[in-house]
C-alpha cells in the first residue's frame, strides 16, 4: 500500500510539475489532488525536493527501459525501408506515451532552474538520440546500406530535425499528424541522400 501511495504521489507530481513547474506547485495542491493530507505525504517524502529527485530518478528509469539506455537501444535495421519503419515506430511511442510527453514538458520548463533537469534535457533532446543512432548508422554503413561518413555526424543530422518536430507536437498537438508526415518525408529524403542500396 505504501508503494502504491508513493507511486500515486509521483504520478500526481509529474502531472502538476509538467503543467505548472516546480516553483508553481506546492505541497498543498499536490496532496489535495490525491485526497491526502500533508502529514500523509510526509510519511513517504520528507520534502518537495525529495519528491522532485525521486521523480527524476523515475523518469530516467522509465525512459531507459523503453529505448533510452544502451542495453535497450533498438538493433540496426537490415534495410533502408527498415530505417523508416523503426523511426516512425519510435516517434509514435515518443509522441503518444503520456509519461514521456509530460517528462519532456517538465524538462523543458525546469532545465533553466535545476542542474539535473538541464542535464536530462540535454540527454533526452540531443545527446541521447545521437548516441542511440550513431551505432545504428555505423552498422548500416558496414552493411553497405548507407554511404560511409562519420556516423556520429550522420546521427546528429538525422535526429535533430526529428527532435524539433517532436517538440512541435508538444507545443501544438493539433499538428501531430502533420509532424508525423514530415518525419516520414524527412526519413525518406535522408535515404535518398545517404542510401546506397536496399538489400532487403
Contact yes or no for 14/103 (Cβ under 8 A): yes
Domains in the chain (CATH in brackets) are 2-194 (1.10.357.10)
pLDDT score for 197:
62
Low-confidence ranges of the chain (pLDDT < 70): 1-3, 68-69, 197-200
CA atoms of 175 and 195, how far apart (whole Å): 29
pLDDT score for 38:
80
**Rg of the chain's alpha carbons, rounded to an integer?**
20
pLDDT tens, 148-180? 999 999 999 999 999 999 999 999 999 999 999
pLDDT score for 153:
97
pLDDT score for 50:
95
**To 5 degrees, how large is the angle CA 157–CA 70–CA 185?**
30
pLDDT tens, 77-92? 999 999 999 999 999 9
CA atoms of 192 and 4, how far apart (whole Å): 50
pLDDT score for 37:
81
CA atoms of 194 and 200, how far apart (whole Å): 17
The DSSP code for 174 is G
pLDDT tens, 105-115? 999 999 999 99
- Average pLDDT of the chain, as a whole number: 90
> Residues 135-142: contacts with CB within 8 Å, 24+ apart?
135/73, 135/76, 136/73, 136/74, 136/76, 136/77, 137/76, 139/76, 140/76, 140/77, 140/83
CA atoms of 93 and 33, how far apart (whole Å): 27
pLDDT score for 199:
46
| pTM of the predicted structure, to 2 decimals | 0.83
pLDDT score for 200:
46
**To 5 degrees, how large is the angle CA 172–CA 173–CA 179?**
85
What lies within 8 Å, CB to CB, of 116 at 6+ separation is: 53, 56
Amino acid at each position: 500500500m505504501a508503494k502504491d501511495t508513493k507511486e500515486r504521489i509521483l504520478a500526481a507530481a509529474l502531472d502538476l510539475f509538467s503543467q505548472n513547474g516546480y516553483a508553481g506547485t506546492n505541497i498543498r495542491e499536490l496532496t489535495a489532488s490525491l485526497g491526502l493530507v500533508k502529514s500523509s505525504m510526509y510519511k513517504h517524502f520528507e520534502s518537495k525536493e525529495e519528491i522532485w529527485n525521486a521523480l527524476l530518478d523515475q523518469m530516467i528509469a522509465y525512459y531507459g527501459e523503453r529505448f533510452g539506455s544502451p542495453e535497450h537501444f533498438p538493433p540496426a535495421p537490415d534495410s533502408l525501408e527498415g530505417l523508416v519503419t523503426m523511426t516512425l515506430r519510435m516517434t509514435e511511442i515518443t509522441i503518444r506515451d503520456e509519461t514521456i510527453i509530460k517528462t519532456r514538458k517538465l524538462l523543458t520548463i525546469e532545465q533553466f532552474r535545476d542542474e539535473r533537469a538541464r542535464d536530462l534535457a540535454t540527454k533526452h533532446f540531443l545527446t541521447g538520440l545521437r548516441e542511440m543512432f550513431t551505432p545504428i548508422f555505423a552498422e548500416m554503413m558496414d552493411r553497405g546500406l548507407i554511404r560511409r561518413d562519420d556516423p556520429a555526424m550522420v546521427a546528429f543530422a538525422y535526429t535533430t530535425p526529428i527532435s524539433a518536430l517532436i517538440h512541435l507536437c508538444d507545443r501544438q498537438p493539433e499538428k501531430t499528424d502533420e509532424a508525423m508526415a514530415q518525419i516520414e518525408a524527412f526519413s525518406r529524403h535522408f535515404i535518398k541522400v545517404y542510401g546506397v542500396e536496399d538489400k532487403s
